[in-house]
A and B are shown apart, each in its own frame.
Chain A
Amino acid sequence: MQIYLPIAELSVNLFFLVGIGGAVGFLSGLFGVGGGFLLTPLLIFSGVPTSVAVASVTGQVVAASTSGALSHYRRGGVDLHLAMYLVLSGVLGAFGGVAAFSLLRNAGQLDLVIALGFLVLLGFVGILMLQESVRALLKQRRGIVVRERLPNQHNWIHGLPMRVRFKKSRLYISVLPVLAIGLFIGFVGSLLGIGGGFIMVPALVYLLRVPGNVVIGTSLAQVVAMMGATTILHAVQSQSVDILLAFCLMVGGVAGAQFGAAAGKHLRGEQLRGLLALLVLAVAIRFGLSLVLTPADIFSMAVVGGAR
């Protein structure tokens, strides 16, 4: 069944959209990530214009993260104080990201920067995650009890000026790294159409030493607020948010995430992280190849000016 997308101005199979939404939702539920980093590339590779794909996926990420954020909030797993700092700087970063998005689109370099961004970011994070999970798996096989590094151990980042006390996270740290993380994820997330959960979680754990019981909840709450703001910014600035496309993806994504979360209970943490790392790397390699290999067509076209 074909459905006409009014902003993308093309008709796509409805089941395909709900299907990729569901498949990505399943993976995001399984691994506990937003799934934007999979969905945006999938849409781009299936012919949706890059700008529409990025802008619409931001809406989908909001929906995908909402139910998780709510359930974490009910369990008291959200540090609202910390999330507020992250969101404020994140929205600021998103302003920059959306402005850069428009500039790059007019200059014809949007696809290049998005491909490069995905390659660098996903490649870097993927390699780190793979290393960590392989090491954990090997140690486990040798029978060594893996002990996570304790939070609350301070490093030099915490010693920066302008310290603030975050009660729920039991942290008394400088706000500068918090703002820097928010700013960076806001910029990258709005430019690439990803929630940034897979950067946010490691950053909170390893850089800020946020305790495990509030990491996921805080990250999800931040993603909801920041991506919500980004959706509005995209709608105002580039006018390329396709609400119908986003809705189809949401429906599939929200349903798929529930099954993914259920399936995730049968796998161990290290295995999950290893699989996620492979997935992340696969997407990075796909983008890398598209940059390096001789393109099938060295010419491309686009509509310029106010029209989409």
Chain B
Amino acid sequence: MIRLLLALVLALAAAAPALAERLISTLSNDTIEITSSFDGERMTFYGNIAPEAGAEQRYVEGPFHVVVVVLGPTQDRVARQKSHHFGIWLNTDEVVFRRFPSYFHVLSSGRLRDITDFGTLTGNFILPEAHAMVPNEAGLMKTLTFGRELIRLMTQEGLFGVQETGVNFLSETFYSAQLILPSNAPPGPYIAQTYVFKNGAIIARKSEGFAVRKIGFERFLAQSSTQYPLLYGLACVALALFTGWLGGVIFRR
């Protein structure tokens, strides 16, 4: 018990001067609304690194690095591999990744390798690869291969990405980061994790949520297609019959 208390006191004494910074951050919009003309949306993350509230010091000393990780809603995703059989190419092998992020972008103020070490990056899920290395029933080697390919495919779709010049420092302590959310960004809850690094160690972190959601007519359509599929189907057919009939009337066929 005494040893534990001692350790705690020691830890506090060691940590207190190092944890003298805090992060004040916010983002430009907390909901992104998908309307009929939705074609992607620009988001801005900005913040300031300030002394800890109640701390003696009036300024903080850098240099700091900021990494913003934007994480979309998770889905079960499958990666499939084609191979050549009987003269044609067909899907023969697959690995399912459970709870895989549907969107993942990393913005940083410098090369991630220079900011911190590999262990910190993967331990905090800052690298896309970290999500694909989650243990899987398919076995380690296959998971690694398929995970790498899945990340490549997601990157091609613009759903995954690492922008090592994504965060700009406007002063010693004030940063801003811009992200253009593509039009195929899946709707759902998003999380933006901001990490402040100093000398390779995380000295402050903060997470903010925002939502991407369909509104208005798009929301109505998407909801009715899943909640009232029969009515939705009937409406589709009615619309089709009406359009076809109207076309015949207009053009007097």
Contacts and interface: CB of A to CB of B under 8 A. Distances in A.
A235 interface: yes
A304 B237 contact: no
A3 interface: yes
Interface in A32-69: 59-60, 62-68
B77 A241 contact: no
Contact of B237 (A3, A231, A301): A231
Interface string B34-47: 11111110000000
A307 B240 contact: no
A112 B80 contact: no
A64 B91 CA distance: 34
Nearest to B79: A301
Interface in B118-160: 146, 149-150, 152-154
A292 B89 CA distance: 6
Contacts of B88: 112, 116, 291-292
B199 interface: no
A299 interface: yes
Contacts of B31: none
Which of the listed residues B80, B81, B186, B240 has the most CB atoms from chain A within 10 Å of its own CB? B240
Interface in A288-305: 291-295, 297-305
Interface string B150-186: 1011100000000000000000000000000001101
Interface of A is mostly: helix
Contacts of B110: none
Interface residues of A, number: 60
Which of the listed residues A6, A112, A233 has the most CB atoms from chain B within 10 Å of its own CB? A6
Interface stretch (A80-88, A247-255, A269-277): A247-255
Interface string B72-105: 0001111111111001111100101000001000
Given A59-B236, A231-B233, A9 B78 contact: no
Interface in A153-196: none
A279 interface: no
Contacts of A62: 237, 240-241, 244
B80 A303 contact: no
Contact of A232 (B79, B233, B241): B233
A261 B247 CA distance: 13
B76 A304 contact: yes
B175 to A, nearest CB: 31
B201 interface: no
Contacts of B221: 6-7, 243-244
Contacts of A250: 239-240, 243-244
Interface string A2-19: 111011011100000000
A65 B244 contact: yes
B236 A301 contact: no
Given A7-B222, A235-B236, A239-B225, A63 B34 contact: no
B247 A254 contact: yes
A152 interface: no
A71 B239 contact: no
Interface of B: 34-40, 75-84, 87-91, 94, 96, 102, 146, 149-150, 152-154, 183-184, 186-187, 214, 218-219, 221-222, 225-226, 229-230, 232-237, 239-241, 243-248, 251, 253
